[in-house]
């Protein structure tokens, strides 16, 4: 635990944050708008919420190097791709499958850190990674064996979206060596929103004309999983260890699956349940033993669901 003492017990904001991010997939399922529109307005609204606090970072923005600007653009593009694929996957597969696969994000970050930064990890962590991937293969296999091409497509989209967010976070490792976390997140949100806007225009997807209900869902996506989820986790980093906060990656699929059962009447078959359990067990092992003294990346929670 960090030396600073939280004004309230740590488990309270941690629990609130896990519930908040668990609602992300529910809101996506409730919306009838294209996922690219949902993602764009989620980021735009979040950007505007953060705007009043960004003024003090103007000198840092002006001092950005060209290479840093290019990395920010690439990182934002990867975040936009993540939202397109992961949120899109929810239109095809179940909340449980999509969020369990998304929880593999720390594993892909570790693989990327090994490839690009030569970061090493323990054999026990690699064993946990292998168990988690076995679970993913069972999840995807259960979709294929069930004869549901849509579920299989959704699972693969979620997997590719998880790879995209891992690349985004690895780029963040380079940028966070100089940029404050808040500024990095704010700028990346702006870039990702712009990329999604270009995508929507290019695909001739209307930017306006959505119902009040849809605008309400866009606002909920920005406020609930972002402000009361990911930004709350950022605040919690002042008072809890990174390992404690990172365990929230395991809370989202559990919370989202329970909410999907209660609100969407979604359930899992036996093969999906076994696969999901293996993913979570593997991730517990990976997160407990795989964190070296030198963290491979400063995990930015807003990059998750």
91: in domain: yes
2: in domain: no
4: in domain: no
Chain centroid offset of residue 26 CA: 14
266: in domain: yes
1: in domain: no
Mean pLDDT of 122-148: 70
Digit-coded pLDDT (tens) for 181-234: 889 989 999 999 999 999 999 999 999 999 999 999 999 999 999 888 877 776
57: in domain: yes
* Domain housing 121: 11-303
Residue 253 has pLDDT above 90, yes or no: no
The full 3-state SS of 50-91, as one line of letters, equals HHHHCHHHHHHHHCCCHHHHHHHHHHHHHHHHHHHHHHHHCC
257: in domain: yes
Digit-coded pLDDT (tens) for 69-92: 999 999 999 999 999 999 999 988
Mean pLDDT of 283-302: 55
Domain count, the chain: 1
């Amino acid at each position: 635990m960090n030396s600073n003492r939280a004004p309230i017990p740590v488990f309270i904001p941690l629990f609130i944050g896990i519930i908040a991010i668990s609602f992300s997939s529910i809101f996506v399922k409730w919306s009838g708008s294209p996922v690219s529109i949902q993602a764009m307005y989620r980021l735009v609204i979040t950007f505007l919420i953060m705007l009043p606090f960004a003024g003090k970072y103007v000198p840092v923005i002006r001092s950005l190097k060209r290479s840093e600007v290019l990395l920010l653009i690439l990182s934002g593009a990867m975040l936009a791709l993540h939202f397109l694929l992961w949120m899109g996957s929810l239109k095809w597969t179940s909340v449980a499958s999509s969020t369990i696969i998304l929880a593999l994000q720390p594993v892909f970050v570790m693989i990327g850190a090994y490839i690009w930064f030569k970061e090493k990890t323990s054999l026990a962590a690699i064993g946990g990674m292998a168990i988690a991937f076995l679970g993913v293969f069972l999840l995807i296999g259960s979709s294929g064996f069930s004869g549901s091409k849509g579920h299989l497509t959704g699972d693969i989209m979620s997997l590719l979206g998880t790879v995209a967010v891992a690349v985004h976070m690895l780029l963040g490792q380079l940028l966070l060596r100089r940029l404050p976390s808040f500024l990095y997140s704010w700028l990346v949100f702006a870039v990702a929103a712009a990329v999604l806007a270009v995508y929507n225009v290019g695909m001739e997807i209307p930017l306006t004309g959505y119902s009040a209900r849809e605008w309400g869902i866009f606002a909920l996506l920005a406020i609930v999983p972002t402000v009361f989820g990911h930004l709350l986790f950022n605040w919690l980093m002042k008072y809890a260890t990174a390992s404690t906060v990172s365990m929230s990656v395991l809370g989202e699929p559990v919370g989202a699956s329970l909410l999907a059962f209660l609100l969407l009447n979604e359930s899992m078959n036996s093969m999906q349940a076994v696969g999901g359990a293996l993913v979570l067990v593997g991730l517990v092992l990976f997160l407990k033993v795989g964190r070296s003294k030198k963290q491979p990346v400063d995990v930015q929670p807003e990059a998750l669901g």
